[in-house]
Structure 1
Amino acid sequence: MEIKIFEGYNLEELIQEAKEEFGEDIKILHYEVLKERKWLFFGTKKRYKLFVEIPEEEETPVQFEEILDKIEEMIDKKIQQSIPKLTPVNRSDLTPDHITETAPPDIAELFKEFTGEALELLNQLVSKDVLPEVAKKIVKEGCGLDIDTNRWDLNTLTSKEAVIKGIKKYIRFTGAFDEEKNGLKIIAFVGPTGVGKTTNLFKIASHFVINKKLKVAVISTDTFKVGATQQARIYANILNIPFYSASESKKLKTTVSELENYDFILIDTVGRSHYDYWRLGEIKEILGSLSDNMHIVLTLSCNYKNEDAFEVVNRYSTFFDIKSLLFTKIDETSKPGLLLNLPIETKIPVSYISTGQRVPEDIKILKPENIVSYILGD
């Protein structure tokens, strides 16, 4: 393995220089921060050394890669055998039967007991990627029996009222995390890479600090991604709140014990694929010492496909006791059926929804009324 060192006074520029030389998929091994004395010894200046692995020519022995692939495949099989059905404790199977069917259900047959506006509403929900069985549950709550046809039809003034009735019966809402103030609360944000955990953690932190005048501290366990800690530290500095980094369980527990007089501790974790069992296990081990007193939030993107979203929830629930779902990127999809599908089928409560990239503005507490607006439109 060959390594090239880039040196300079701006880390982002060094990373860009390395990408220009070796391409976007560079492998950054490490970086160091050196302090140089300024002229006449007045203060210090930071200088960075960035260590980058030089990509090898495409002469890597094929046999070695094949061996690695076989080893990884064997490990995956062993792990899957040790987790029989990935079924969370005290929770029904998170992957509904109608998700895994090889052929889509016959919609006409499924909805044959409905008529009129109810049938129109069902088809509208399905067009937004609401699962047919979920749509049926929701709509039936707003229906009465039509005597002429002996079928179910809406008995509410509007379609939105019908959906709201169904949502209130089948979906639980946490409300704002600061609604109940009984001592220190610890909230950990977990989820796949790229769903916006760090950004939305600081949206919530901003609300607590600016609007509620609460004492908030942030701890990051993400020491893997280059620049992740720096980004979080910048947010914390803007809010003037303490920020800590802890990459192992003992340090995390010690740090939390030093913050007992705070109202909230928000913990940011590294994004991991739901298929990366080893890494998910690492996160669980780090958070393990706090598991009894911690609210774990699973962060998910609204632009996920139904199958992928259920798989994420299923896998993460095997490792963590998920207390609520936080949805992101609602502004990036026109079919947000997940807002109904996931909480109804998994029975996990919902908390917040991210509506854009701005901090702290673009986040809302989920309620039946705004779920309906996202699904049916204003």
Structure 2
Amino acid sequence: MSVKIYEGKDLDVLIEKAKNELGDIEILYYEVEKAPGILPFFRKKKYRLFVTKKENTEENRVEHLEEEIKELKSLLVDLKENVTKLPSQQIVPSVPEHLEEKVVCAIPQIEEFTGDAVELINILIKKGVEPSIAVDIVRASCGLDIETEKLDLNTGTFKEALINAFKKKLKFTGEFTAEKGKQKIIAFVGPTGVGKTTNLFKIASKFVIDQDLNVGVISTDTFKVGGTQQARIYTSILNIPFFIATDQKKLKEIVENLSELDVILIDTVGRSHYDYFRLGEIKTILGGLNSSIDYVLLISCNYDTKEAMEIVNRYRSFFPISSLFFTKIDESSKPGILINAGIKSGIPLSYVSTGQRVPEDIKLLSPFVISDFLLGA
């Protein structure tokens, strides 16, 4: 990996300069220095930005968009001309709404399917699963129907088909666990308003009540109104210690003094995924710890897939995300985001929040749970 260093007085300018020179970049770290001066409050800042060119991945490779959209529109014309040739029970999925936003999405070819397979594809699309992903999922649970020479489900029920496919297509963390005497640190990161604090304490409850572990909570969020008070109430109920760390040095001191705890949960401040400077601040604060950290990224089910993937890709350019934790599924009619984000990112799925109650409203994600959400069970 080749690391390049940029120096200057404006961090945003440095980032844009790096993008112009290297293309798609990954921000590794940045430093802030204050130039010497008589008046400390008026000393100018100098930034040193460390970046590397991001390797192209299957999820992020979006090249030659104008030409691809023209080709895709041509395919749409051909598809419309041939719709009448499809059997009546087959449903051609609608064109993704974000096509005009220059996001290329392959049109699923459902002519190869028949019977229940076509119906299941349609159900998944209505639940917010992207058409191409819906086709891929259903294909994983199909066999050849001899009479029609097309693919149909080889399972007795839709649920069985989805469970079989999700076992092949998605990764799952299973329950968060820890061992006594082997301290684990978990940091909850994500945009403002996704429910990091509430869901952190749902996980804290699981560690304390279900696993009988010694747990502590540290918050680096001093911005949210009432956030600290809310955290103190939860920690009081669970009878676990709570601390506030405003900088890297303070956080390191607190963690070093909590060596007897089995689990430390860190609640970070919510930041927009478009705010590189603030994300860098979070990374700087957490970067002072000597211990390894599991980073859990929280995603609201109210996001569409495009925005969810923007969040995932920008956050993991700063942090090695270990799992996706979904929230507010009770406020969404499109649980397909669970599938879309899981398959597109390749990151394991952990939990989903089903409401505001602590600790009840949380489910461990699994092929069984996701199939229930999609089928309305």
TM-score class, shorter-chain normalisation, is 0.7 to 0.9
Secondary structure of 1:345's aligned partner:
helix
Alignment-derived partner of residue 112 in structure 1 = 111
For residues 255 and 79 of structure 1, what CA distance do their matches in structure 2 show?
36
Alignment-derived partner of residue 201 in structure 1 = 200
Paired residues for 1:143-292 under 5 Å: 143-178=142-177, 183-290=182-289
Q: CA deviation digits over 1:183-227, x for unaligned, max 9?
A: 111000000000000000001111221232210000001122232
Q: Alpha carbons of 1:216 and 1:179: their partners in 2 closer, same or farther (altered >3 Å)?
A: closer
On the 8 A contact 1:86/1:314 being kept in 2, the answer is no
For residues 255 and 143 of structure 2, what CA distance do their matches in structure 1 show?
53
For residues 55 and 347 of structure 2, what CA distance do their matches in structure 1 show?
11
Q: Does 1:92 align with 2:57?
A: yes
Secondary structure of 2:289's aligned partner:
helix
On the 8 A contact 2:179/2:262 being kept in 1, the answer is no
Q: Which AA in structure 2 matches 1:92?
A: T
Question: How much does 1:105 deviate?
Answer: 5.5
Q: Which AA in structure 2 matches 1:361?
A: E
For residues 124 and 193 of structure 1, what CA distance do their matches in structure 2 show?
32
Secondary structure of 2:288's aligned partner:
helix
Q: Alpha carbons of 1:181 and 1:374: their partners in 2 closer, same or farther (altered >3 Å)?
A: farther
Q: Which AA in structure 2 matches 1:242?
A: P
Alignment-derived partner of residue 30 in structure 2 = none
Q: CA deviation digits over 1:290-343, x for unaligned, max 9?
A: 376111000010111111101110110111100000000010011111110111
Q: Alpha carbons of 1:96 and 1:121: their partners in 2 closer, same or farther (altered >3 Å)?
A: farther
Q: CA deviation digits over 1:332-360, x for unaligned, max 9?
A: 01111111011111100011110000011
Q: Where do 5+ consecutive residues of structure 2 fail to align? A: 1-9, 28-53, 63-95
Alignment-derived partner of residue 372 in structure 1 = 371
TM-score normalized by the length of structure 2: 0.75
Q: Where do 5+ consecutive residues of structure 1 fail to align? A: 1-70
Question: How much does 1:136 deviate?
Answer: 1.6
Secondary structure of 1:145's aligned partner:
strand
For residues 111 and 16 of structure 2, what CA distance do their matches in structure 1 show?
43
For residues 56 and 179 of structure 2, what CA distance do their matches in structure 1 show?
25
Q: Alpha carbons of 1:359 and 1:101: their partners in 2 closer, same or farther (altered >3 Å)?
A: same
For residues 364 and 290 of structure 2, what CA distance do their matches in structure 1 show?
24
On the 8 A contact 2:114/2:151 being kept in 1, the answer is yes
For residues 180 and 258 of structure 1, what CA distance do their matches in structure 2 show?
19
Q: Alpha carbons of 1:87 and 1:111: their partners in 2 closer, same or farther (altered >3 Å)?
A: farther
For residues 144 and 182 of structure 1, what CA distance do their matches in structure 2 show?
50
Q: Does 1:326 align with 2:325?
A: yes
On the 8 A contact 2:178/2:263 being kept in 1, the answer is no
Q: Alpha carbons of 1:303 and 1:79: their partners in 2 closer, same or farther (altered >3 Å)?
A: farther
Alignment-derived partner of residue 42 in structure 2 = none
Secondary structure of 1:319's aligned partner:
coil
Question: How much does 1:232 deviate?
Answer: 1.0
Secondary structure of 1:236's aligned partner:
helix
For residues 372 and 144 of structure 1, what CA distance do their matches in structure 2 show?
20
Please say which of residues 119-128 and 109-118 is displaced more in the overlay: 109-118
Question: How much does 1:77 deviate?
Answer: 3.6
Alignment-derived partner of residue 10 in structure 1 = none
For residues 295 and 101 of structure 1, what CA distance do their matches in structure 2 show?
36
For residues 316 and 209 of structure 1, what CA distance do their matches in structure 2 show?
29
For residues 168 and 143 of structure 1, what CA distance do their matches in structure 2 show?
14
For residues 170 and 192 of structure 2, what CA distance do their matches in structure 1 show?
26
On the 8 A contact 1:184/1:263 being kept in 2, the answer is yes
Q: CA deviation digits over 1:208-263, x for unaligned, max 9?
A: 21232210000001122232222212211121110011121122122111112211
Alignment-derived partner of residue 142 in structure 1 = 141
For residues 376 and 288 of structure 2, what CA distance do their matches in structure 1 show?
44
For residues 97 and 320 of structure 2, what CA distance do their matches in structure 1 show?
23
Q: CA deviation digits over 1:65-95, x for unaligned, max 9?
A: xxxxxx9986774465477325697893444
Q: Which AA in structure 2 matches 1:245?
A: I
Please say which of residues 230-239 and 349-358 is displaced more in the overlay: 230-239
What do you get for the CA RMSD once the two structures are aligned? 2.6
Q: Alpha carbons of 1:274 and 1:291: their partners in 2 closer, same or farther (altered >3 Å)?
A: farther
For residues 294 and 231 of structure 1, what CA distance do their matches in structure 2 show?
24
For residues 273 and 316 of structure 2, what CA distance do their matches in structure 1 show?
10
On the 8 A contact 2:178/2:184 being kept in 1, the answer is no
